[in-house]
Amino acid sequence: MIRYISLTGIVLLLSLGHVYAPDLIDRWANAVRKPAAPHVHRHVIHSYFHTIPECPEGKYLVYYTSDAPSGERGDLRIQERSTGKETIIAEGLVTEDAHRVACQQWVNHGKTIVYHNLSEGIWRVLAYCMETKATKVLAEDRQVGFGVYASPWVPLYGKHWNPGL
């Protein structure tokens, strides 16, 4: 008798019938691949391995770009996938590293992009509204964690290098 099951277990059970289905792989055999964004003498970083840079309806990509060798200073951009047009939504960001960059991600069903930035010695978590094009500060002395694109909630955490503050 199963008393509980993890989310991973549910996903595994639901996918068992499709794991070895050759048609799933064959669909991609002749797929056209192209870079998501131009790499014109710059870093282009989507965020972290388990975040999806594409908004839920597939119209936009969100990514961080930097022409600094370290990748720790840069801009946050969205790209309209149908035209390739890039729009900078946040300039001059300072990040902790070029690994997670600004932790940019879609939340609230793709209506909002959240990210963090170090400005004037203070970490801030910010939200960019796709409808109004306005940015607002959600929290200070915090960084954004990784959430779920459909959720209106934004996970925050303290400075991991200085726990308890």
CATH assignment of the domain containing 72: 2.120.10.30
Residue 20 belongs to a domain: no
Number of domains in the chain: 1
Residue 43 belongs to a domain: yes
- Name the DSSP letter for residue 36: S
pTM of the model: 0.77
Provide the pLDDT for residue 43: 82
Provide the pLDDT for residue 1: 41
Residue 23 belongs to a domain: no
Q: Measured between alpha carbons, how far is 165 from 163 in angstroms, rounded to an integer?
A: 6
Residue 89 belongs to a domain: yes
Provide the pLDDT for residue 22: 61
Structural domain for 73, as ranges: 36-157
101: region left, alpha or beta (phi > 0 left; psi from -120 to 50 alpha): left
Residue 5 belongs to a domain: no
Residue 19 belongs to a domain: no
Predicted confidence pLDDT, tens digits, the chain (165 residues): 444 544 554 454 455 554 455 666 677 678 777 777 776 788 888 877 778 888 988 899 999 999 998 888 999 999 998 899 999 999 999 998 877 788 999 999 999 999 999 999 999 999 999 999 999 999 999 999 888 888 889 989 887 777 766
Provide the pLDDT for residue 23: 64
Residue 29 belongs to a domain: no
Residue 6 belongs to a domain: no
Q: Measured between alpha carbons, how far is 126 from 17 in angstroms, rounded to an integer?
A: 41
Question: Structure tokens of 104?
Answer: 């940019």
